[in-house]
């Protein structure tokens, strides 16, 4: 009789935040790694990790309750290619992701900070694009979605003129995988704005 698979107690990581992540050590293999910042409770990532078993995934989320839900989803689905990390997203991108290590960087429905005086708090700005360029492998992608027209324009401006990136269409396989926030917005008649950039 084959032994039942051992389900880990948690896929939530507690790394040394002064060090960069060692993806092969974390996953026990050298598969390409994709990271989602602001993963919420994993409505996107749990589905996407199941659909792409030969990639590894890290969900970054600052709210512990949401991260725990993502962790539970991953374990219940028997996913071995997903880990969860409770650290502030910009910090992870700048200080914890090894340079040239990511095949994909996903950010879906980040807070749009609609008031002009709060725009400086937006996650996706020129600095984000520069950090993404440093974090991605050549041929890797940044996948972005927002419900907010003004933020969408600001995102496009942040990436405009960067020689490291070219704008590409969203892959069909990814379009089909929607997030919780996306379903809520779309149900209210608010469309999803997509922006995808390929690292040259
Ligand atoms: C509007 S929700 C979208 C969640 C998910 N991406 C979705 O589309 O369903 C934004 C998420 O980003 C998280 N978040 C916001 N700022 C963050 C930061 N600086 N670092 C990590 N997570 C952050 C929030 O806690 C929240 O769960």
Reported as a single tens digit per residue, the pLDDT across 117-172 is: 999 999 999 999 999 999 999 999 999 999 999 999 999 999 999 999 999 999 99
**In the structure encoding, which two tokens stand for residue 53, read together?**
């078993």
Q: Residue 3: what pLDDT?
A: 64
12 falls within a domain: no
Which entry of 111, 147, 180, 184 is annotated as an active-site residue? 111
15 falls within a domain: no
160 falls within a domain: yes
DSSP 118-166: GGGG-S-SHHHHHHHHHHEEEEEEEEEEES-HHHHHHHHHHHTT-TTEE
10 falls within a domain: no
Q: Residue 127: what pLDDT?
A: 98
Q: Residue 107: what pLDDT?
A: 98
Longest Cα–Cα distance in the chain: 64
| Residue 180 CA: distances (Å) to CA of 45, 75, 122, 184, 186 | 11, 19, 21, 6, 10
Q: Residue 96: what pLDDT?
A: 98
Sheet holding 82-85, edge to edge: 12-13, 82-85, 56-60, 33-37, 102-108, 136-146, 193-199, 165-168
Best of 61, 108, 112 to mutate for ligand 1, by most ligand atoms within 8 A of CB?
Answer: 61
Closest CA to 129 of 171, 161, 168: 161
Strands 165-168, 102-108: parallel, antiparallel or unpaired by DSSP?
A: unpaired
Q: Residue 8: what pLDDT?
A: 77
Closest CA to 95 of 17, 26, 36, 35: 17
**CA dihedral sign, ordered 72, 136, 106, 155:** positive
Q: Residue 1: what pLDDT?
A: 60
11 falls within a domain: no
64 lines ligand 1 (CB under 6 A): no
61 lines ligand 1 (CB under 6 A): yes
Q: Residue 7: what pLDDT?
A: 65
60 lines ligand 1 (CB under 6 A): yes
13 falls within a domain: no
User: In terms of residue numbers, what domain contains 40?
Assistant: 31-199
63 lines ligand 1 (CB under 6 A): yes
Positions of the chain with pLDDT under 50: none
17 falls within a domain: no
Distance 4 CA to ligand 1 centre (A): 35
Mean pLDDT of the residues in the chain: 96
111 falls within a domain: yes
Number of domains in the chain: 1
Distance 26 CA to ligand 1 centre (A): 23
Residue 111 is among the residues annotated as catalytic for this protein: yes
179 lines ligand 1 (CB under 6 A): yes
Q: What is the CATH number of the domain that holds 159?
A: 3.40.50.150
Residue count of the chain, please give it: 200
- N-terminal to C-terminal alpha carbon distance within the chain: 50
């Amino acid at each position: 009789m084959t032994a039942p698979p051992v389900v880990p107690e948690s896929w939530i990581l507690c790394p040394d935040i002064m060090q960069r992540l060692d993806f092969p050590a974390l996953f026990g293999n050298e598969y390409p790694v994709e990271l989602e910042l602001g993963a919420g409770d994993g409505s996107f990532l749990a589905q996407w990790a199941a659909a792409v078993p030969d990639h590894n995934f890290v969900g970054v989320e600052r709210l512990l309750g949401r991260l725990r839900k993502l962790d539970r989803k991953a374990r219940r689905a028997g996913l071995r290619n997903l880990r969860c990390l409770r650290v502030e997203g910009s910090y992870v991108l700048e200080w914890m992701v090894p340079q040239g290590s990511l095949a994909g960087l996903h950010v879906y429905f980040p807070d749009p900070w609609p008031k002009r005086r709060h725009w400086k708090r937006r996650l996706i700005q020129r600095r984000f694009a520069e950090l993404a360029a440093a974090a991605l492998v050549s041929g890797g992608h940044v996948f972005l979605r927002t419900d907010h027209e003004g933020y969408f324009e600001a995102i496009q401006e942040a990436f405009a003129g960067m020689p490291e990136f070219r704008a590409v269409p969203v892959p069909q396989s990814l379009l089909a995988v929607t997030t919780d926030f996306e379903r809520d917005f779309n149900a209210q008649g608010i469309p999803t704005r997509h922006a995808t950039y390929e690292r040259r």
